[in-house]
Amino acid sequence: MTPNLFYLSNVLYVPEKRQIVAEFTCGCGKKSCRYSFFPFLHLPKTGSVSSVLFSSDRKKIKLEEKDGSFEVIGSTMEELEKILSTLRQKGIDFSAIEPERQFLLLSGWSFFDAFSFENGSPQKTGSFPDNSAFSAIEKSLSGIFGLLYRDSGESAGVFLKKICLSHILRLHPSKSMAGVSLQVLFENWFFSNSKPIPTGFSEPAKKPLSSTGPGALFDFSPVLAALFSENNLGIETINCECCTPSSVNDSNVLPDSLVSAEFLLNGFYFESKNPFWLEKFHSSKPFAEHRVNRMNEWFLPSVPAGPFYKNEIQAIPLVDAKSLDKKAVKIIGDESLSWSCRKKKSFLAEGLGALLSLRGRALQTMGSLESENLAKSGVLFFASKQQSFHVSCIEQLAVTAEELAFSVPMAVSSNRHFFGGHLASAFLCLSEECFSRFCSLAEKNSFCVLSRCGNRVFAECEKPLALAELFSCSFGLPRPLILSQSLPEKT
């Protein structure tokens, strides 16, 4: 006889008893288990932090050193909150995630995972998108999904997205996840890798891109995600001690590196692809008024770098030096190189890879389910596909994992304080280099890029699929998505 499968339905922290209570549900009832638990907090190992920790009540906290940071174990979460409050008063701002989420991350569990109690204690048997996970939740949740679907397809979709986000983020589905999904995701990755969790994260703003006239709207989200992962970007892998490059030509050198450039023309200006470098240049170099006047005169989106004069030598970003006309600028040496690690994968790249892997497994499962159902029901399956809880949930899982994964790179570039300036600068220059390649390729093939905003590009192009495929083949990167296409009017 097949044992009943339960799914993890709730986790509750009980501070008075120093325990976590985990609740498991199946169609025939519920079970709960108690676990002794003491919450964690990671903080940087600095003098100011050390003075606060060593003056705290040592009977209520335990300190351990891990990779240059403190791991603080509290008797209760309240003790850790007191430490964070004291640090904030000194201008040092870090955060701790709630004990329930800590417990799930440390256990390798998540909501809606499948468990068996065959030996008396819960043993994890499956996770999304495994069939065992759906066997555990289907009896309890498919009925709710069916009612919502009959009432409103949109409500059913919201219900499924709650389930998928809850599973990925390890948040109870009753909690509001609107506008905080990426923040929770990054907090999980920081905690799982024993890194202090900064504060001040903000979800990247989604700016609309006008796309009037004939052309196609390209979305570079999959391209940027691949660039982020392939270049192994991370707060611990940029400028590592083990992979210092010998020259600007080394493969792990990043495009935000600074090189010494000799200018060959008088009164030369250029639009920098590195806004962080440009900000420092504009605030520290003379002729600021000239730059502002030129920006206004030429309707530029930001002040240009310059003016530079013949034989002048200046440190400029590598991404700019490589793109400028060789008749105007000549690279004469390295100034300050930036690089990524070749030996150890960054935890951000690993997290991004895990999301893309989850998406891939969900799509594979989706394909198998469709094949099975087509064999059983033929084309009638497509008429009832949206009413199937299993199929719809797998489909939503793939969409949710993709949305989170494709949002990671832009979130990093727009949260300089949270991730550090080096990481944001490196990714922005990589992405600018990528867009420049696309624009050049489009121009060579008689297409015209009309506008760009964030990770989206609108180009005057009658054959967008051909251009996307050409870009992918030319640079060994994923194909940009084509969101929309409008054809020219026939005359």
Mean pLDDT of 209-234: 88
| Type of residue numbered 213 | G
Q: How far apart are CA 41 and CA 94, in angstroms?
A: 9
pLDDT of residue 146: 83
Q: How far apart are CA 126 and CA 114, in angstroms?
A: 5
Burial (CB < 10 A; 0-12, 13-18, 19+), residue 330, is middle
pLDDT of residue 1: 42
Burial (CB < 10 A; 0-12, 13-18, 19+), residue 189, is buried
Range in 79-88, 137-146, 226-235 with the lowest mean pLDDT? 137-146
Average pLDDT of every residue of the chain? 91
- List pLDDT tens digits, range 348-401: 999 999 999 999 999 999 888 878 877 777 766 555 666 788 888 999 999 999
pLDDT of residue 366: 87
Domain ranges of the chain: 215-234+343-486, 258-336
pLDDT of residue 213: 66
- List pLDDT tens digits, range 88-138: 999 999 999 999 999 999 999 999 999 999 888 999 999 988 888 888 898
Mean pLDDT of 320-328: 95
- List pLDDT tens digits, range 2-58: 568 999 999 999 999 999 999 999 878 899 999 999 999 999 999 999 999 999 988
Distance of CA 59 to the CA centre of its chain: 39
Confidence of residue 491 (pLDDT cuts 50, 70, 90): very low
pLDDT of residue 87: 96
Whether residue 140 has pLDDT greater than 70: yes
Q: Is residue 92 a contact partner of residue 48, using CB atoms and an 8 Å limit?
A: yes
pLDDT of residue 327: 94
Q: How far apart are CA 311 and CA 315, in angstroms?
A: 13
Q: How far apart are CA 472 and CA 353, in angstroms?
A: 20
278: tokens are 């440009």
Q: Which has more pLDDT, 140 or 491?
A: 140
